[in-house]
Structure 1
């Protein structure tokens, strides 16, 4: 991926294990390795393949199978709505290089409705039936295991009711049987890129669960744009459009949006980070959810 794959300006700091990097270089016949950025999860290099095309190489910091899981799901998508996959190991992931802008740009530039529509179309493309789905995907409920086990005392006193309500909604949603399909898990404005073939999603989490969850991350983005993401009118408009275009229940879409925001706050608290952004959005997500039919 290009510059926009690095969320909130993270830069190169430490370096990956040289042995892993060398093995990746040999395995895929790569050259002209240029470090681009570092995220909490991986290092990113712009590289050149044997056919002289550019590619993005990610070296994961905690190899727990995420490289192979993401790779298999990307291979399954075949470039339809997602970045193309060139190769993967437990430690590395090689994909196409995309220089295009992110979906945050039009959303911030007065074209938020078009951005919403692009998200809906993209998720619809990712959810098209394909035979032989990957078998190593993480169950969505398992993905939220740390959220269910989180200690409310880590939350600010004034926000603990938000956490409690979100957990209650999560139990209610997961206790109702629903369709189980492969989920990308990372479809949001800052991680959707404009390629020659249209808007495509970046690196997936690789989940298996309710299709409504793939819309959840987009409710918190563009990140930091409070006039958009924290606006109840906009939240309602997103839920309406997503429900209409994808045939999903509006209340369930909003439920997962609230759960995702609360889970994001839990992860930030565990990492010692601020949750000001999550607390700007979550109350309005819950309010719109409560008012939904």
Structure 2
């Protein structure tokens, strides 16, 4: 494909504003359009343009601006719903895990966590609270008609309410940390990308790790892996293993709801929802083993 073809869907005004000389298409999702772009100074960056459905990601830009590159990519420029981001590379932690194993991947996750949670000064205004973040779960738990989901979602919602009422060490969170949102290949090593920009208990920031990486369902529902992650993250975040697992269960319930909303589908048509339900079923059976 020619260079003009690669850049044809980027408005000329954006090219001029940020001195974009070339571009390569990366993704077109419901929430954003993403390109890797070359700049006239010879450097590369990531151009991300949010769609109307992606406005919920604006707090993520606020989070990146606040982090100033600590543990996450730099936000280089921002104009409304468009931003220019540091190009952190294209090797994902998911691909790295396939070659080097779960243990090596978990070490990287813990290092990223410690860097992300290092104080960056006064928290910014405009982040999403966990109460707001879980609204879909609370709503669907009250109205779900599918009997396979109604009780698990109600169980997950109850745990979530208990957790949110007892939050500790509240701080800005990435909010969507998983193996495809940790990348390397640039000069600064492993970095987090695509944050949600939340504020709440740090234990929530590892909740999505339990349901990842993609295409690893046997690992995701493996009780030994679940216990091992609880051990690792409770030490890294200095909280109980039970709390870590409870947040993972809360997230699994919410993820089921988001998946069904995004797909406009029923349970049998959503692979992600089925996987999260399978994890929730196994994880709730392990809670009593982790209670103090």
- Normalising TM by the smaller chain, what interval? 0.7 to 0.9
Q: What is the aligned partner in structure 1 of residue 103 from structure 2?
A: 113
Q: What is the aligned partner in structure 1 of residue 3 from structure 2?
A: none
- Distance in 1 of aligned mates of 2:108 and 2:279: 21
Q: Summarize deviations over 1:148-186 as a string: whole Å, max 9, x none.
A: 111555464223221111011011111124221000112
1:1-293 superposed matches below 5 A: 21-62=11-52, 66=56, 68-109=58-99, 111-151=101-141, 154=144, 156-195=146-185, 196-271=187-262, 272-273=264-265, 274=270, 275-293=273-291
Q: What is the aligned partner in structure 2 of residue 4 from structure 1?
A: none
Q: What is the aligned partner in structure 1 of residue 4 from structure 2?
A: none
Q: Point out where structure 2 has 5 or more consecutive residues left out of the alignment.
A: 1-7
Q: Is the 8 A contact 1:239 1:253 kept in 2?
A: yes
Question: Aligned to 2:19, what secondary structure does the other structure show?
Answer: coil
- TM-score, normalization by structure 2: 0.87
- Distance in 2 of aligned mates of 1:163 and 1:291: 22
1:87: Cα distance to partner?
1.0
Q: Point out where structure 1 has 5 or more consecutive residues left out of the alignment.
A: 1-16
Deviates more, 1:141-150 or 1:269-278: 269-278
Question: Aligned to 1:93, what secondary structure does the other structure show?
Answer: strand
1:110: Cα distance to partner?
5.7
Residues 30 and 66 from structure 1, CA distance in 2 versus in 1: closer, same or farther, beyond 3 angstroms? farther
- TM-score, normalization by structure 1: 0.87
1:32: Cα distance to partner?
1.2
User: How many aligned positions are there?
Assistant: 278
1:63: Cα distance to partner?
6.8
1:291: Cα distance to partner?
2.7
- Distance in 1 of aligned mates of 2:232 and 2:118: 18
- Distance in 2 of aligned mates of 1:163 and 1:210: 21
Q: Is the 8 A contact 1:102 1:194 kept in 2?
A: yes
